[in-house]
């Protein structure tokens, strides 16, 4: 059962995101995308794990990244995220929660532990990397299994940056947060 404080913060963050116009989301997403190449591990990364954005999440356009990088995207499978190597948007299809997911018939399963970086969505982040997810625990379960050598990069819009997030023992943090300017 989620804490009342987390439930309230999720409600507040969803309201903030609902106030963002599509144009504001697109501009903020572009700002985040342009900051990705400045990440220390980005230049040498050969494998990068990311996500296909839901409405209200930064759209990183991971399949538009340099062809020199293999891109892994998740698919939900019960209570877990299964990552697949994806090369083209034609290999994606609507999946759980309406998000585009890799078609397992076209995309081989890949181990996210082989990635140099993993980009993580969330409803809220603190500057020191605490993360509030949507409440199902998909990313907390995933992150708890990844080696610390995989750099965890939280991505969010400026309105999603908060001073504090209530924590529970199962919550996983990120190493750094990429956010759009306020």
Q: Tell me: the pLDDT tens digits for 116-164?
A: 999 999 999 999 999 999 878 899 999 999 999 999 999 999 999 999 9
Which pLDDT value is given to residue 181?
86
Which pLDDT value is given to residue 182?
77
The per-residue pLDDT of the chain, averaged, comes to 92
What is the Cβ-side half-sphere exposure of residue 53, based on CA atoms within 13 angstroms?
Answer: 18
Residues 76-84: what's their mean pLDDT? 92
Which pLDDT value is given to residue 151?
96
Phi-psi region of 11 (alpha: psi -120 to 50; beta: other; left: phi over 0): alpha
Which pLDDT value is given to residue 17?
95
Nearest to 35 by CA among 144, 143, 153: 153
Query: Quick check: 179 and 125 in contact, CB under 8 A?
Result: yes
Q: What are the residue ranges spanned by the domains of the chain?
A: 4-179
pLDDT at 99 over 90: no
Query: Quick check: 9 and 165 in contact, CB under 8 A?
Result: yes
pLDDT band with cut points at 50, 70 and 90 for residue 2: low
Say which residue, 156 or 98, is predicted with more confidence: 156
4-179 in CATH: which number?
3.40.50.10420
Which pLDDT value is given to residue 1?
58
Q: How many CB atoms lie within 10 A of CB 164?
A: 11
Residues 20-47: what's their mean pLDDT? 94
Which pLDDT value is given to residue 24?
95
Q: Tokens for 103?
A: 């078609």
Q: Considering the entire predicted model, what is its pTM?
A: 0.93
């Amino acid at each position: 059962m989620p804490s009342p404080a987390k439930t309230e913060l999720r409600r507040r963050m969803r309201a903030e995101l609902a106030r963002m116009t599509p144009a504001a989301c697109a501009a903020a997403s572009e700002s985040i995308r342009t900051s990705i190449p400045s990440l220390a591990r980005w230049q040498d990364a050969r494998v990068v794990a990311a996500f296909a954005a839901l409405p209200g999440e930064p759209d990183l356009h991971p399949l538009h990244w340099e062809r020199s990088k293999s891109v892994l995207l998740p698919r939900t499978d019960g209570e877990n995220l299964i990552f697949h190597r994806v090369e083209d948007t034609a290999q994606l299809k609507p999946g759980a929660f309406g998000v585009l997911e890799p078609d397992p018939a076209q995309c081989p399963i890949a181990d996210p532990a082989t990635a140099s970086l993993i980009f993580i969505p969330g409803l809220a982040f603190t500057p020191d990397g605490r993360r509030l997810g949507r409440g199902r625990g998909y990313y907390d379960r995933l992150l708890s299994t990844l080696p610390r050598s995989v750099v965890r990069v939280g991505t969010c819009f400026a309105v999603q940056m908060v001073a504090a997030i209530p924590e529970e023992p199962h919550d996983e943090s990120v190493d750094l947060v990429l956010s759009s300017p306020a």
